[in-house]
Structures are given as structure tokens and as C-alpha cells.
A and B are shown apart, each in its own frame.
Chain A
Amino acid sequence: MNRNLRELSDEELILEYQQNDNVQAFEILVQKYKNPLTNFVYRFLGDYEACVDVVQETMIKVYRYKDTYSSVAKFSTWIYTIAGNLARTEYRRQRRRQFFSISDVGDEHKTFDIPDETYRPDVITDSGIKDEIIQKALLKVSDAYREAVILRDVQGLSYEEIAEILGVNEGTVKSRINRGRAELQILLKDIYNESR
């Protein structure tokens, strides 16, 4: 049975979970999507702990609201939409928190949140420094452009899928991607010079 489930497509797995309440089907979907979603959300947020939390929240939403999935859409599109919405919410929350912590500067009794870099997986790789620079540059790109660029150039999704995830038409997606790339090019100019 388990072997058969692994042969099923994503859409078949979610249907199996919907109709038969088969938790194994859900677990297979979790195994399949946990890494791509973690990569996507991490590149968008730049905070590994928050990213794991968002991906887990995405999985919980799939678990609880499985019946809201319609077989008309692709499962990957649906789960990326959920993750994207949650990531955007978390990003806004982080920005608000950052704003308040910055506004506290000058008060000697206040404490500051120092980002914990120990969980950053890209730091420990060979190209860790470059990755870190690219990540910082990505975080400086506008939210809407950044999401589109990550989905296209990091996750490798099609324009059609991205349009569905973001809820905009393909033309808008292409426009956002190009603008995002342009912003990144300016931000990463130094790295290009180094690599040439």
C-alpha cells in the first residue's frame, strides 16, 4: 500500500487524503514538499527559524483544510500559494517588530534582538559568503518582485504557475521578474566584478 502511494502523483495523493483520510498520503506530501518550500520561504524571509515555522504552518493548513483543495488546480500551486501567503504575513510581522526595535534605539534600558546566524545553512557551505551576499541583496528587493524572482529563478517554476500562485496574470509576472532581476543586478554588481 505504501509503495503504491509513493507512485501516485501529488494530486492523487491529496485526493487519497481527502477521500480516505489516509494520513500516509499526507506524510508523503510533507516529505516531498518540505525542502522546496523551506528553500522558497527561506530565500523570501532570510530567517531560518521563522522559515521552518512558516513551512510547518503550511503543512498544518494542508492537514486541516484538505477539503478546500480543488482538483482543478495543481497541488504544487496550491501549497505554494499557502506558503507564500504565510511567508508574506510573517515578513510583515518581522518588519513591524524591526521598526519598533529600531525606534527603541537610544534608550539604554532597552534590549536588541541580535539575529542568530548559527542555523543559517548557507553559511557553512563553500560558497557561503557569496550566498550570504546574494541573500542580503534579495532581501533588499521589493517584496512583490522578490517573490516572483525566487519562484522563477530559484524554484524554477513556470510563468503560468507563478501567475496562479501570485494571483496575477502572466504579463505582470514577467514584468515583476524583470524588475526584480534589474534591482538584483545593481545590488550584486560587485559580485559580478569579482567573478569575471
Chain B
Amino acid sequence: MIQYDDEKKYEDVIRKLKNLSKVDAPDYFEADLKRRINAEETSDKKSFWDKLILPSRLIPSAGLAAAAMIIFVMITLSPEEMDNPFLIEPKLREDIIENSSVEGYLDKDEVRIDVGSKEKSIEKLDAGKRIQESVGETKSGRDEPTMMMKKENVADDKLIAETDAAETESTLTDSVQITPASVIPVETASGMAITKQELNFRQVQLNAQEQQVVDELRNKMQLNEQKKVDYQK
């Protein structure tokens, strides 16, 4: 009833709207529609890779990104910094440090063990407890100033040896290794640790009997030395 009243109320408006002339589609409507449908289908057929390779709307942003990358690379690899010798951190000559530090530890009584003879001596110890060892050269007579300097470096060398243990080991093993008894624990020293990689690496722990033999040999050598000194006198 309310609806009917409303329609009565706006009767004239409704009539005017209903009498509005009908607007038809143009004659070209269907032809144009077909053309548009075909155009959309052909654009859809464009392969995914074609769209991916050259999406024209991405060209400006891609160019901008490339330029940013180039600038970044140029800044980070600036030749000024590269060529400035004051900005280059000097390389650490570990081989020199290690050799000097080891030499610094050498004492009169310390034994230099030749690596080549180490293997032989170990084999001999195993077989018939015959140990071949060469007495280290005593350094008392030479390079005293050098010794002083080297001793000053002991603390630094220890630090290097602790931090770069693995690296140090590999550099040390390139030449004859000298193992000072004052630095290395007794067990390791007596065990004659050989760290040269090229050789057949072995660490031997001497038992009491073997240790006794070694001590006897050492005493004999010391006695011989003493005799030589006495004889010279």
C-alpha cells in the first residue's frame, strides 16, 4: 500500500523516465567487440618469457637499479684507497716470527732434533730402544745481541702461538722444528712431537724405560762435552 502510494506520489517522474527515448548500441558495436576480443586474445598469447624478458614498464626501474649498483661498486672499490700504501695493512710474516721466536728459546742445554733423524730414532726406540739423536748446536758462543732481542719478543710470540695455533703449526713444520723444553710441557718434549705434514706424522710417548735410556745418553753426551772442555783447558 505504501509502495503504491509512493508510485502515485511520483507518478509524473516515473512516467517521464519511462518515456525517455531508448538509447541503442551503435552499428559497429559487434564488429568492434570482436576486434577487441581478438586483440586481447593475441596479447594473452604473448609468452610468459616474452613478458619476463622485456616488460617495458620495468625498464626505467631496472636501469635505475643498475646505475645504483655501478655507483655502489665504484665507491666500495675506490682506487684511492686501493693505491694508498698507508691504508694497506702490512702482511704478517709468520715464518720469520716463528723462526726467530723459536731461536730465542734456544738454550745451551736444549736439544735440536733433526726431523729426518726423528723418525729414525723413533723407529729405533720401538725396535731395539736405540735412539739416535743429535745434540743441538749450542748457541752460547754466537749472536748474543740477537738473543737479547729475541728474548724480548718471547711474550708476543707466545700470544701469536696461542691465537694462531693451527696456522703456526703449519708454518713451523716447513723447516726443521725446534722444540724448546722450557716452553713445551715435559710429556710433549719427551714425546718428541713432530708436526711436519710432509712426513709421516707421529707423536710418541716414551715410557719410563725409554726415558731412562734417553737420559743416560744425554748424561753421556754432557760428560763428553765436559771432557772436551776439560781437555781443551
Binding site for B on A (CB under 8 A): 27, 30-31, 34-35, 37-39, 42-43, 48, 51-52, 55-56, 59-60, 63-64, 121-122, 125, 127-128, 130-131, 134-135, 149-150, 153-154, 156, 174, 178, 181-182, 184-185, 188, 191-192, 195
Contacts and interface: CB of A to CB of B under 8 A. Distances in A.
Interface size class of B (residues with CB under 8 A): 20 to 34
Nearest to A120: B23
B20 A134 contact: yes
Contacts, number: 88
A181 B12 CA distance: 10
Given A39-B22, A153-B18, A188 B13 contact: yes
Interface string B1-21: 001001000101110111111
A139 B75 CA distance: 61
A55 B29 CA distance: 9
Contacts of B215: none
B25 interface: yes
Contact of B16 (A35, A59, A134): A134
Interface of B: 3, 6, 10, 12-14, 16-26, 29-30, 32-33, 36-37, 40
B29 A122 contact: no
A60 B30 contact: no
Given A63-B37, A185-B12, A154 B18 contact: yes
